[in-house]
Structure 1
Amino acid sequence: MQLWMGFALCAIPSTVHARESQRTFDVPADDLADALQQFARQAGVQILFPYDAAKGKRSRALKGRMTVAAALERLLAGQGLSMATHDARRITLRAVAARQAAKPRATPRSARLPSPSADPPSPAEPLEIVVTGRAVDSPIAASKMSYALTSISRERLDFTAPPSTASLFRQVPGFWVESSGGEAGNNVRSRGIPTDGFSAVAFAENGIAVQYDGALGYLNTDQSFRIDDTIARVEVVRGGPASLFMPNAPGGVANFITRSGLDEQGGRVTLTGGDRGYARLDGYQALRLSDEWGLVAGGFYRRDGGRRLPGYTADSGGQLRVALDHRSGGNSLSLDVRHLDDRVTFYLPVPLGLGDDGLPEAIAGFDPLRDSLAGPETLKVPLYDGLVPTVFDLSKGTHTRLTAITLRGTLDLGGGSEWHGALRWRDSATTRNALFPTGAPMTGEDYLASIEGQMREAFPDLEQLALKYVSDDAAFSESANALLTGANLLAVSVPLDEVLAETKLTSTLWGAGQHDVALSIGVAHYAYSFDRYMGTALLEVADEARLIDAVALDVLGDVTGRYTDSGIQRYGSIFDSARMAVDALAVHASDEWQISSAARVDFGMRWEVNRIDGEVAGQAAIDLGDPSTLADDQLLGPDGTSIPIRRRDTGFGWSVGGNYTLSPDLGVFARYTRSFRLPSASNFNTAPLRTDQETVPITMAELGVNYVAESLSLSATVFGTRFKRLPFSDFRFDTATNAYVERTEIADTRTIGVELEALWRPTGVFDLAVQATLQDGRYRNFAFTQILDDAPVLCDYSGNRLIRVPRLSLRAVPRVALLNDRLKIALTGEYFSRRYSDIANTQPLPAYTLIGLNIGALLTDRITLAAHVTNLTNALGLTEGNPRNGSFDLDANAGGYLYARPEFARALRVELALAF
């Protein structure tokens, strides 16, 4: 992979560190980039150099005994490169300005057409640094890795243009992604891990957690992070050692590595336009201030009418990053400031019918791909936040305002040892307002029958019930589909303050081979508030649905009472208020042992302790006293008391992996990991006295192969995952009482599967990238007794398939490169097999296929035009049912209707990029 001013790192050092004593060199004349690789092996150092400045030049032969510095000076004589920094383990080269002017101008990296897949280096290319899942930063070949990793280059990000952070992980095998929630608030699962959100997959920036606990209630990690042009590449570790290096990451970690002004210069501005009012501006500038200082600044701003138009601007906001880097010898210092102020819509399930075959289908009067229940009448609604009157504002969506300041440093201690330190401070405030549909659509007649008993008791002179539109008092129209639905207008506020710090010592030791050892201590403190209120509305089932009132009429046809109040069925159907603080301490130790040139073993451990301190407000149901309506009879609000929570949880995990290199192109590995997931503080936001939360033990075994050659790159991993004593909660909204009912059961899960990543390059104009996951996940020991109609009933879900996880996920990307690589066209095909939306496996979600198209054209050496089309065929692909209807068994669709959340309709985006 050729990167302008990118890292090209040569060989694993064969000694602890370079010495200034003389060495014997024998480097034949060759391409300069290849000669530098051979030199690095013989010198026992890393060499970082601008690859494009070396590739294609012919080196002179180097032979004899001399010091490393003298030998390198001879090798570089007249080549336009010179040493910028030099220490015991690492040498950095830079291009000499005069030589750069003399040679033909290279195409700027940012203007080059990207590839749809991350091209693994061939044996003739420089080895890459893998910084994720390892404690050391020495270069390593894919054939020597002992765990599964997917690397997504900047070029691949540019070409595929994922519309959200979560959707990026569709390119990672082993991950099941539900990105149908919009740009934030989505779900990612790894290797059959049966938990939602980001509770088992961590995000990191340059190796530091973006958010210590990615599963905080209503604060998923993807709400705290956006991809922009300041990201250089992404490394995703699937399972393996991820849980040793990162908190709350048993399923894996996605590490976003940012650009550095020391590694590249120049910049880019990109304008993007799309249908439904989409407009975005991206840009970055990288500057080398001196040989030792570099600066990067960049970010984005975006406005969007919405993936399903709600009648107002759905998304608006952006992100800004400024990063200053310093490197001198083996020491480094980095200061990174990132500010996010972005508002995006959270998309929820849509109404669907059940066909004769029992599978979901569109219903009359509502397009599930384009229509939205949200609209002008639900935009601003008077509600109560506890006992305080307020106005619910749906346009706030998921609004995150966040500032994160990160300080990282490395100190060369000599003798092959380094000290690494990192500190991140974060201050954020997140609101999350959304319209959550409840129950299932029902006819107006069925709805009135369900409330008739309550209405007759409250209003004895009731003669008949009627439905009226709130806006004009007209009778409810049954012309389209005659359906009504409940909808919760939910508002959540989660401000979070967080400090993360880590100190790490790494060293290279000798004894029966080479040992790269690490010992680190990490601490974290974070505190947040959780405030939530909700009102339950009554809506027609239509695009931009109108509010409906259910009223009691007397014999004269006059209104004598109302079940609703201006379309609200119940004020205060939820109220919660909690204050939580968490202190965490983690200790990590690891050893990468190079036994021989072909055999490597690595093992490590992590011990972690979390202490949760907080309090949760008590609540009571209050009647506001309006006799004309039932909507205010049971308003939940604070009762003036609070319940404290104090608990301490610990976990210990370890992992051991081995790799054997059969050839420079081919390596096999095996790994066994015992990890854990500590209880999240947010599990106690609404139930501080619950006793069903304990440390969850997780076991994962892996066996894999990595093959990297010029025409074919292949990575395949067989895995097995087992969870024990995992709490499963059934969070069901009772439409009769307009209140949530929750129950929790403890069970186990087991998943066996295989992941495949391949890139086939038979010719210079065609390649095919494939990612595939085949897995079988099942519940174990999932049996309990529940009371139905005053009688005990045994429920046994053991052996059922895990909810919403397909057995087969397949992604294939054929690509052609034409006109000397100036035009690239790639077709993306994704297939997801049938899933179930409930643990009882009673509601199937059909298999579906998505087709996408990416086109990139290099108009000049600096101007690129690209087009991206998603869901080209407008497939109705359902990613989940409606979790608010319960996750154990779905009985809310008995009337032939249900809710499920689909993929978005076809969308077109066109980009014009200028590199400079």
Structure 2
Amino acid sequence: MKKNALASAVSTHARLGGKSIGRWLALPMLLGAMTAGAEESKKEVGEIKLLDLEEVVVTGTPGGAGVRKLDASFAITTVDEEAIKQFSPKSTADLFKTIPGVWVESSGGVSGANIFVRGFPSTGDADFVTVQVEGAPIYPPSTLSFLENSTLFRIDETIDGMEALRGGPNPVFSNGQPGLTTNFRLKQGGEETEGILKYSTSDYDLQRVDGMISGKIAPEFYYMVGGYVTRSPGIRDAEFDSEEGHQLTINLTKEWGSGKANFYHRNTDDHGTWYLPVPLEAPGVDAGTFTYVGNTTKKRAVTVNANGDQIVYDFSQGRGWDGSVTGFNIEHDFANGWTVRNRFNITSGDANTYGLVPSGGAVPMSELAAGLTATTEFSDRTLDGDDWVQAVGFWVVEKDIESKSNDFSVSKTLDDHTITAGYYWSKYSADEVWSLGNQVAFEVRANGEPLTGIGCSDIPGAGCWAYGIDATGETETKAFYIADEWQINDDWRIDAGIRRETADTDYRVDSGPGYADGSIDTDRSLSDSKTSGTLGVNYTLNEDSGIFGRIGRGFRFPTFDMIREGQEVVQEIDQYELGYKFSGDTFGLFATFFYNDFTGLNFTPFPGAPTQQSGAEAYGVELDAQYDNGENFRVSVNATLQSTELTDTVAENEGNSAPRQPDWQIRISPSYDFHMAGMEGTLYGTLTAVDDRFGDNGNSQDLPGYEKVDLGVILRVNEQVTLQLVGDNITDEEGLTEGDPRITGNAAGNGRTILGRSYVFSASYEF
């Protein structure tokens, strides 16, 4: 394929093309051949335990009852505290790269990721991803425009680990997410007082302090308190501390002979620059560090209605979350095999977005109409013909969200059966005001200035437009579910579940002709009910291995944004899985084959664009493997191979690949333990390789594949002091994650790449 303008603008570093996949597929087999004769290793500094079949997981089980991985008939990944520290994610979404079957674009900053699951078709955000804390969804709808679940959660030293369940029994339990559910477990106090104090800095002037302390309040009553304070200009330097935040988490646990309860509260105020596509073809643009955000764009008056009224907004706030998540769980075992469980959660706060969004491509001044003169707005500098300009919009999205959810279940154990009946209820709302468009002419330069003398309409292809809404929506869901877990014998286990859910939604929106104008354009009340179900079987081959299979059907009711765009259709997903799991002394492997049949996708690429309808089919395999030589060397391999195809869509898109998702991706993570001058340490790294992708349903916008290399070292000075240095993207690869979602094909030459090279150093003291 001949390189186009967008592809030629990205880094020319060597890439793995689609034909190179064979050598990567061979790696797990090579690792398997290396297992003979080694002994199971003891835990060393930085050890990752992804494949422990004796580990008990709670996500995807009725009421969070828990099941051993060996007995589980679904694909689940667990990431413990040590693995999170070693990975050192720059955002919550960044951590999801450790999950097979998931494609993550975390290039948007601390918030605003795009996350895709197993070939489910989507054009952005995270339509099929739920984030839970202690088993309760923090916001039941996985995505609203400009809001996906990972935005509402920050990782710090209060996290004990994460469970990530793809498909499986997800459609039946909790909020019925058919795609990916990630459940974060908070640390809990114990008999001894323990804690950590950690300081982090970086080559981009990160200043962060984390802390956590836990212990005993009274007999069988424990506490954990922790949080962080952070600031930095960002890897894409904004000339000021564009990333600022703090968080405080409290977790109280009470135990008694036959039960347990815990209460948690997490208050977060954290934001950062929303990183967007940049003009890749303009001279002097470093795609890994470029941003228009700077001192001259902190405050801007934005037109909010057709009368020309303006409001001054603070664009230094970027994108983030200012709110709280509070909940409690209780579990009690009664006589004769009865167990009652309840999980309650309430989330409330503001998830606002203030961003500088390109509109059309960048061009040199010489291509503008004769006689036009452009002057920088603040420094009063006149541009010449070789200077480049671009139209950039000041976008404002303010969201006030709230949700409550409760999951109550009763279980009864009868010989080989455990039967669970449950009732899930949630109510969530969003009040929001948008003002999109608002384009002005910009000098193409990092932290560039707006221009006077020329406007958006003077730049060829800028596409000047305005769109605003004033909307409010509320949805109440009620769901009954029943599940049976049948341990037929020591080897065979069957589980099945069915769920009946009803959703009632009220949504009102004033969108007006370009701006909200005071008249209600949409006033809808919807009510619908659907049934989802799942059936899984697990066969234990021996104490080290097993196989499982599962079929299931899930759905997704229309969200507020879908209703506004006239897409009042229920999306349905049929899923089929077949898996194998093995955990030996030196080698472990999870392999999951999947097939999905998706119907009911309706989407609008951008406001005002025609709505497109589509279905999709996808099949593939997820691989999660680990080799350990029993002494000091380990390597983990995380890979996904899939084939996606759009169906039941417009003729020109029929048979195309689902947008944004690669046919294959692989992460290879070796680590080596060493001893030096009485200290223990771990040297580790990760190679990520990604196949080519397309940015749109028409497969006309090319996103070339890339490789990314990360390195790190952990040094444990003694039992209390640990030092860590992490290098992210050390080759400074400009891997493209997004073209221009508001342009067909590659015409604009805009693209968003992974973050440029950075280094983070941390020192921690544990007690």
TM value normalised by structure 2: 0.90
Deviation readout 1:532-553 (Å, 9 max, x if unpaired): 11311111222112222345xx
Q: Please state how far the C-alpha of 1:807 moved relative to its aligned partner.
A: 1.0
Q: For 1:136 and 1:618, how far apart are their aligned partners in 2? A: 41
The reply to whether residue 294 of structure 1 matches residue 222 of structure 2 is yes
Aligned twin of 1:114: 46
The question of whether the paired residues in 1 share the 8 Å contact of 2:198 and 2:765 is answered with yes
Q: Which residue of 2 aligns with 1:368?
A: 287
1:60-112 CA distance string (max 9 Å, x none): xxxxxxxxxxxxxxxxxxxxxxxxxxxxxxxxxxxxxxxxxxxxxxx9x9xx7
The aligned counterpart of 2:4 is none
Q: Which residue of 2 aligns with 1:658?
A: 537
1:249-260 counterparts in 2 under 5 A? Answer: 249-260=177-188
Q: Indicate how the Cα distance of structure 1 residues 351 and 571 shifts in structure 2: closer, same or farther if over 3 A, else same.
A: closer
Counterpart Cα distance in 2 of 1:368 and 1:594: 55
1:705 matches 2:580: yes
Q: How far did 1:430 drift?
A: 2.1
Q: Does 1:825 align with 2:683?
A: yes
Aligned pairs for 1:389-788 (under 5 A) are 389-448=310-369, 464-471=371-378, 474-479=381-386, 482-510=387-415, 514-534=416-436, 535-550=438-453, 573-617=466-510, 619-620=512-513, 636-641=515-520, 643-684=522-563, 686-687=564-565, 690=566, 692-731=567-606, 740-783=607-650
Structure 1 position 325, deviation (Å): 0.7
Counterparts of 1:317-336 in structure 2, within 5 Å, are: 317-336=245-264
The 3 A distance-change label for structure 1 pair 719 and 425 is: same
Amino acid of the structure 1 residue aligned with 2:241: T
Q: Distance in 1 between matches of 2:244 and 2:579?
A: 43
Hey, what's the Cα distance between the residues in 2 that align with 1:178 and 1:391?
Answer: 31
Once the 2 structures are TM-superposed, how far is the Cα of residue 678 of structure 1 from its aligned partner? 1.1
Confirm or deny: 8 A CA contact 1:476 1:548 kept in the other structure. Answer: no
Q: Which residue of 1 aligns with 2:159?
A: 231
Task: Give the distance between the partners of 2:633 and 2:321, measured in 1 at CA.
Answer: 42
**Alignment partner, residue 384 of structure 1:** 303
Check if 1:912 corresponds to 2:756: no
User: What does the per-residue CA deviation read over 1:548-589, in whole Å, with 9 as the maximum and x for residues that have no partner?
Assistant: 2345xxxxxxxxxx7779xxx999822210011111111121
Task: Output the CA distance in 2 between the equivalents of 1:595 and 1:816.
Answer: 43
Q: For residue 197 of structure 1, report the CA deviation from its aligned partner.
A: 1.9
User: Cα distance, 1:746 vs. partner?
Assistant: 1.3
Instruction: Specify the alignment match of 2:111 in structure 1.
Output: 184
- Residue of structure 1 equivalent to 2:234: 306
Letter in 2 for 1:607: R
8 Å CA contact 2:104–2:116 kept in 1: the answer is yes
Residue 618 to residue 855, structure 1, CA distance change in 2 (3 Å): closer
Rounded Cα–Cα distance in structure 2 between residues aligned with 1:166 and 1:864? 26
1:800 to 648, 653, 656: 656
CA distance in 2, matches of 1:291, 1:303: 39
Shift in Å at residue 310 of structure 1? 1.7
1:156–1:264 Cα change, 3 Å: farther
Unaligned stretches of 5+ residues in structure 2: 1-41
Q: State the shift of 1:447 in Å.
A: 4.4
* 2:89 corresponds to 1:166: no
- CA-CA distance at 1:637 after TM superposition: 4.2
1:473 offset after TM fit, Å? 5.3
Q: CA deviation at 1:446?
A: 3.9
Would you say 1:847 and 2:722 are equivalent positions? no
Q: Is the Cα contact below 8 Å between 1:717 and 1:754 reproduced in 2?
A: yes
Query: Per-residue deviation at 1:194?
Result: 1.4
Deviation at residue 138 of structure 1 after TM alignment: 6.0
1:159 match: secondary structure: helix
Tell me which residue corresponds to 1:208: 136
Q: CA shift at 1:384, angstroms? A: 2.1
Which residue type is aligned with residue 212 of structure 2? Y
CA distance in 2, matches of 1:417, 1:729: 49
Q: CA deviation at 1:307?
A: 1.6
What's the CA shift for 1:821?
Answer: 8.2
Distance in 1 separating the partners of 2:688 and 2:237: 25
Which amino acid counterpart does residue 467 of structure 1 have in structure 2? A
Partner Cα separation in structure 1 for residue 107 and residue 630 of structure 2: 36
Which structure is higher in RCO with an 8 Å CA cutoff and minimum separation 6? 2
* Larger Rg belongs to: 1
Structure 1 residue 782: deviation in Å?
A: 1.8
Task: Say whether residues 1:902 and 2:760 are aligned partners.
Answer: no
Amino-acid identity (%): 26
CA displacement, residues 314-366 of structure 1 (integer Å, 9 cap, x when unaligned): 1101111111111101122211111011121111111113xxxxxxxxx4221
Alpha-carbon distance in 2 for matches of 1:158, 1:442: 44
Provide the C-alpha distance between the structure 2 equivalents of 1:136 and 1:424, rounded to a whole number of angstroms: 14
Shift of 1:471: 3.4
Q: Determine the C-alpha separation between the residues in 2 that align with 1:419 and 1:302.
A: 41
Distance, in Å, in 2 between the alignment partners of 1:821 and 1:589 is 53
- 2:323 and 2:668 mapped to 1: Cα distance? 36
How far apart are 1:653 and its partner, in Å?
Answer: 0.9
Q: 1:694 and 1:269, CA in 2 relative to 1: closer, same or farther beyond 3 A?
A: same
Write the deviation string for residues 503-548 of structure 1: whole angstroms up to 9, x where unpaired.
Answer: 11112112xxx11221111111122211011311111222112222
1:525–1:141 distance in 2 versus 1, CA, 3 Å? closer
- After TM superposition, give the deviation of residue 681 of structure 1 in Å: 1.9
CA displacement at 1:377 relative to structure 2: 2.6
Residues 227 and 575 of structure 1: is their aligned pair in 2 closer, same or farther, counting only changes over 3 Å? same
How many angstroms does 1:166 deviate by? Answer: 0.5
Deviations 1:690-730 (Å, cap 9, x if unpaired)? 2x321111011111100011111110011111111211322
Q: Distance between the aligned counterparts of 2:498 and 2:475, measured in 1? A: 22
1:231–1:259 CA contact under 8 A, matched in 2: yes
Moved more, 901-910 or 611-620: 611-620
Distance 1:245 1:136, change over 3 A: closer
Q: Is the 8 A contact 2:660 2:738 kept in 1?
A: yes
Q: For residue 442 of structure 1, what is the amino acid of its counterpart?
A: V
**2:27 is matched with which residue?**
none
Q: Is contact 2:63-2:407 (8 Å) kept?
A: no
What does residue 279 of structure 1 align with?
207
Number of residues of Structure 1 aligned to a counterpart in Structure 2? 718
Cα-to-partner distance string for 1:463-499 (whole Å, 9 max, x where unaligned): x4443333355542233xx432111101111011221
Rounded Cα–Cα distance in structure 2 between residues aligned with 1:571 and 1:174: 38
Which amino acid letter does the alignment assign opposite residue 384 of structure 1? T
Establish whether residue 835 from structure 1 lines up as the match of residue 738 from structure 2: no
Tell me the secondary structure at the aligned position of residue 734 of structure 2. Answer: coil
8 Å contact kept, 2:304–2:435: yes
SS at match of 1:415: helix
Q: Give the residue type in structure 2 aligned to 1:752.
A: Y
Please say if residues 679 and 717 of structure 2, whose CA atoms lie closer than 8 Å, have aligned partners that are also in contact. no
Q: Name the CA shift for 1:725/1:880 in 2 (closer, same or farther; >3 Å).
A: same
Deviation at 1:426, TM superposition (A): 2.0
